[in-house]
Amino acid sequence: MLRPAILAILCDRAEGLHGYAVEQKLQTLKFFRDQPPDYTGLYRLLKRMESEEPLSSTKSDSHAGPCKRVYRLTDRGRRCLSRWLDSLTKYQKMLEDLLARAKETVEISETS
C-alpha cells in the first residue's frame, strides 16, 4: 500500500516533496497511523520508483544543510496511480461483499 500512497501524496504537488516530507505526509494517513512504514524501506522505494519512472527527482539546494532530493510524479506515475485506484476500488468492493456475507453467516449462526 506504500506505492499508491506515495503516488497519491505526490499527485497534487507539482513542486514535489523531499523524502522527509513524504514521510511526514504518510504519517497523516489513517492506514499508516498505527503502524508507520519502515523509513529506510521508504527511501529505498522512492529510489526504485524513480528508476522505474513513476517518479522523477532533482536535488534542491538547501542553505540550511545538505542538498535534498525532491520527488515529483511523472506522467507515467499518474497513469500508475490511476491503475492503482481502479484495482483498489475493485478490491474494496470484493472486501465489502465478503464482509457482508460473513456478517450474514455470523448472524444466522447466532440466531440458530
For residue 91, name the pLDDT band (cuts at 50, 70, 90).
very high
CATH 1.10.10.10 corresponds to the domain 2-111: yes
Which residue would you say has higher pLDDT here, 4 or 63?
A: 4
In the prediction, which pLDDT does 32 show?
86
From CA 64, how far away is CA 86, in angstroms rounded?
Answer: 41
In the prediction, which pLDDT does 22 show?
94
Which residue would you say has higher pLDDT here, 109 or 7?
A: 7
- Which of 15-24, 62-71, 90-99 is the least confident region? 62-71
In the prediction, which pLDDT does 3 show?
94
For the segment 39-86, what is each residue's pLDDT rounded down to a tens digit? 899 999 999 999 999 999 999 876 777 788 999 999 999 999 999 999
In the prediction, which pLDDT does 112 show?
66
- In this prediction, residues 15-21 reach a mean pLDDT of 92
Q: Are 42 and 29 in contact (CB under 8 A)?
A: no
Q: Residue 35 pLDDT more than 90?
A: no
From CA 38, how far away is CA 17, in angstroms rounded?
Answer: 18
Q: Are 10 and 55 in contact (CB under 8 A)?
A: yes
SS3 of residue 94 by DSSP: helix
In the prediction, which pLDDT does 110 show?
76
Helices (H) and strands (E) in the chain, counts: 5, 3
Work out the burial of residue 45: count CB atoms within 10 Å of its CB; fewer than 13 is exposed, 13-18 middle, 19 or more buried: middle
From CA 88, how far away is CA 82, in angstroms rounded?
Answer: 10
DSSP state of 61: P
Cell numbers that stand for 19 in this block: 523524502
